[in-house]
Structure 1
C-alpha cells in the first residue's frame, strides 16, 4: 500500500547517519505521460494500491540534469514547487515537443513520491510515500544550445484555485479553436452586442 508518510522502516532510514532518499515523479502529459526517478536504476511498482504507480516503470534519469525544489508547507497549502529538467536540443526533443503544446500539460496532474534506499545495497527500505501532488503550470525554457533547462512550476490543488497566477479564460480559443466565448465576453463588456 502507498503511505501518506514514511513507515517505521523508512523513518528509521531517514534518521540514519548515512541515508539515500530517492524521488519518483509522474507528469500527466496527455498521450505521453512521463515517469522518472533520480534513483540509480529504474523501478517498476506493483501492489501499492496507487493507480499512478502500479504496473508502471519509472525510468532512472541522471540526477544532475533534474532538480526538484523544496516543498514548503504553509497556511492555506504548500508553496508552488519548481521542477527543473534538461531541455537540450537533440537529447530532449520529445520533452520540448510535449511542453510546446500547452493543451497537453496545462492544469494536469504532477505527483511526487519519495522512498529510502539502503546506501550499500541500494535496495528499497520500507514503503514509498506520496509527498506532493499538484497541477502543472507555466514552464520556462532558459539557456542556449549548449546548456538549456526547462523549469516547470507545480501548483497545489488549493493554490491552483486561490492564488493569482495570471491564468485567464480569455485564451480558451487556444485550447478549443471553436470556442468563441472570449470574444463574446469582450463584446458584452464593451456593450458591442447591446440591443438598440
Structure 2
C-alpha cells in the first residue's frame, strides 16, 4: 500500500468539488475501534494492509468521533488529538476500556484517506495511509449535557525521540560484582582502572 494518493485520487483532489474521507483504527486491547467519516461503512479486501483487509470501518457521525489536524514538524508530527464520544450510559464499555491504561498506552493508532465521488459517493482510486502513531494520553472532559474523550496520539518519531532517563551507570545496584560503570567513567576521564 502506498502512503500517497494514486493518480485517480490525485485527480479527485485537484477537482473543484471533492469529498475526502478518513478511516481511523485505534488498537484498543480486546476491542479495537475502526470508524470512518464516510457516509456509509466500508469493508476492505486486497489492499495488502493487515489493519484494513477483512475489517469493516463503521460510518459514524463526525460530531461523535473526530480527528484533529495532522501537522508536520521537525522530528515528526505534532501531537494528534482524536475526540471520541464518552457519554454515560451510551459509551460505558469504551469508558471502562480507557480506564485501564494497559488497554491503550503505546498501542497503535492509524489513519488512512480516500476520495469519494461527490455525486454518487463511490470511491475514487486507492486508499492511502497518512498517519501512524501511538496512543498516549486520554483526557475526559464535559458536563451534564455531554462528555468526550480526547485521546492524544504521538507519532513514532516523537515517541522514540523522548528521553528514556535510563542509564547503565547504576548497574552495580542490580549486580554487586559489576564494575563496568566505574571502568567506563575511568576510561572517559583518561585513566585506566585495574582490579
Partner of 1:115: 114
Residues 8-43 of structure 1, C-alpha deviations (whole Å, 9 max, x = no match): 110111111111111000001111111011111100
Q: Distance in 2 between matches of 1:109 and 1:87?
A: 20
Larger radius of gyration: 2
Partner of 1:10: 9
Partner of 2:89: 90
Q: Pairwise mapping of residues 1-196 of structure 1 onto structure 2 (< 5 A)?
A: 2-163=1-162
Q: Distance in 2 between matches of 1:120 and 1:168?
A: 54
Q: Distance in 1 between matches of 2:87 and 2:144?
A: 7
Shift of 1:45: 0.2
Q: Distance in 1 between matches of 2:19 and 2:83?
A: 21
SS of the counterpart of 1:119?
coil
SS of the counterpart of 2:120?
coil
**1:168 to 1:121, Cα distance in 2 relative to 1, 3 A:** farther
Gaps of 5+ in 1: 170-184, 189-196
Superposition misfits of 4+ residues, deviation over 3 angstroms: none
Contact 1:84 1:151 in 2 (8 A): yes
Shift of 1:168: 8.8
Shift of 1:3: 1.9
Coordinate RMSD, CA, aligned? 1.7
SS of the counterpart of 2:157?
helix
Contact 1:136 1:152 in 2 (8 A): yes
Partner of 2:181: none
Count of aligned positions: 168
Gaps of 5+ in 2: 174-195
Shift of 1:91: 1.6
SS of the counterpart of 1:12?
helix
Q: Distance in 2 between matches of 1:120 and 1:94?
A: 37
SS of the counterpart of 1:99?
helix
TM-score for both structures, normalised by structure 2: 0.82
SS of the counterpart of 1:154?
strand
Shift of 1:145: 3.0
